[in-house]
Amino acid sequence: MPNICNDSHKIHDKKINVLYFASLADHAGIDEEQLMVNDETAGQIFDKLSQKYNFSLSKDKIAVAINHEFSNWQTPINHGDILAFIPPVAGG
């Protein structure tokens, strides 16, 4: 299971599921994954994943949901949470 924290001295005690939609799934090459994280917020996790996958959209263009409810980037993540990143989707 991937660990997105670069600090080797920290304990990664929270397993979460991350869901990617639309262009974010295209950039990541996957639509979901499990990660081990520390005491981090949704925004901190997105920043690390954005560097890892080279996302072209910034946080101000993306909605975040935690456990199927829209949330904000400052929300702390807990063990077992489902974190979803939802970019704008054009319809037609």
**Segment-wise mean pLDDT, segments of 10 residues, the chain, 92 residues:** 53 89 96 94 97 95 98 97 92 58
**Structure confidence at residue 13 (pLDDT):** 87
Q: Per-domain residue ranges for the chain?
A: 14-86
Q: How far is it, in rounded angstroms, from Cα 80 to Cα 63?
A: 20
pLDDT at 89: 78
CATH topology of domain 14-86: Ubiquitin-like (UB roll) (3.10.20)
Q: Which of 18, 29, 5 is nearest to 62 (CA)?
A: 18
Taking the C-alpha atoms of residue 63 and residue 38, their distance in angstroms, rounded to an integer, is: 22
Report how far residue 63's alpha carbon sits from residue 2's, in angstroms, rounded to the nearest whole number: 23
Q: What is the pLDDT of residue 64?
A: 98
What local confidence, expressed as pLDDT, does residue 39 receive?
83
Can you tell me the distance from the alpha carbon of 28 to that of 21, in angstroms, rounded to the nearest whole number?
Answer: 10
